Amino acid sequence: AQSVAQPEDQVNVAEGNPLTVKCTYSVSGNPYLFWYVQYPNRGLQFLLKYITGDNLVKGSYGFEAEFNKSQTSFHLKKPSALVSDSALYFCAVRERGGSYIPTFGRGTSLIVHP
Amino acid sequence: SAVISQKPSRDICQRGTSLTIQCQVDSQVTMMFWYRQQPGQSLTLIATANQGSEATYESGFVIDKFPISRPNLTFSTLTVSNMSPEDSSIYLCSVEEGSYTEAFFGQGTRLTVV
């Protein structure tokens, strides 16, 4: 079975400060990991993914995430937050060689204050 | 990347009626998925729709309540039948093009049942 935990319902950060949105996962084997963003009244948009290789993954809009196998984590980061980054962020996992269906975390609301 | 057009974007419906949501993809895809996203919650998979076969429903979802059609490789519909206020939610269609690729989502249908 696969699962994802996003321990924070909400993250608040001031514009210009670095941000981190946390994600930990559980799979039987090796994971494929994804981050998505959802703006109000929109569907989910893909941000970045870890498949294999370099543990630091760079994605859209200046976001990056670091895969940490020992801590089973895939935290989303950005060096300098923008007000426009305010949205709902979902982490997702799929087991390599397993089901095509990803498991999503419950989502973290990111609020960037001017 | 796949572009998905989902409609309607929102609707307000009377209890006891049905609503059909359409999902059109700009390329041929094997697997399409329907999700429900209740307020403040994560995505819950309703069913997987593959062309040429009956949809596969997740636990807690049944065909009589959520009939799905998949007439070809670019189109699918989800019907929410005999609606009640508990069906008020965002419904999302999604496609995936491979086990290691990200999912693509429609913009969602915000359904309110009164």
Position B98 scores a pLDDT of 67
**Helix residue spans in A1-114 (DSSP H):** none
Position B106 scores a pLDDT of 95
Give the CA distances from residue A21 to residues A15, A47, B26, B102, in Å, rounded to whole numbers and listed in that order: 15, 13, 32, 19
Per-residue pLDDT tens over the stretch A77-110? 999 999 999 999 999 999 887 777 899 999 999 9
Nearest CA in chain B to A5: B42
Secondary structure class of A57 (helix, strand, coil): strand
Secondary structure class of A60 (helix, strand, coil): helix
Q: Which residue in A32, A41, A42 is closest to B100 by CB distance?
A: A32
Q: Which residue in A32, A34, A90 is closest to B42 by CB distance?
A: A90
Taking only the tens of pLDDT, chain B with its 114 residues reads 789 999 999 999 999 999 999 999 999 988 899 999 988 788 999 999 988 888 999 999 999 999 999 999 999 999 999 999 999 999 999 998 765 688 999 999 999 999
Position A39 scores a pLDDT of 92
Q: Which residue in A43, A94, A105 is closest to B105 by CB distance?
A: A43
Tokens 């963003």 locate to A37
| Touching B: A residues 90-109, CB under 8 Å | 90, 92, 94, 96-97, 100-102, 104-107
Nearest CA in chain B to A10: B40
Per-residue pLDDT tens over the stretch A9-55? 999 999 999 999 999 999 988 899 999 999 988 889 999 999 988 99
Asked if B9 lies within 8 A of A41 by C-beta distance, the reply is yes
For CA atoms A97, A102, A103, A104, the dihedral sign is positive
Position B99 scores a pLDDT of 58
Position B100 scores a pLDDT of 63
* A46 contacts chain B (CB < 8 A): yes
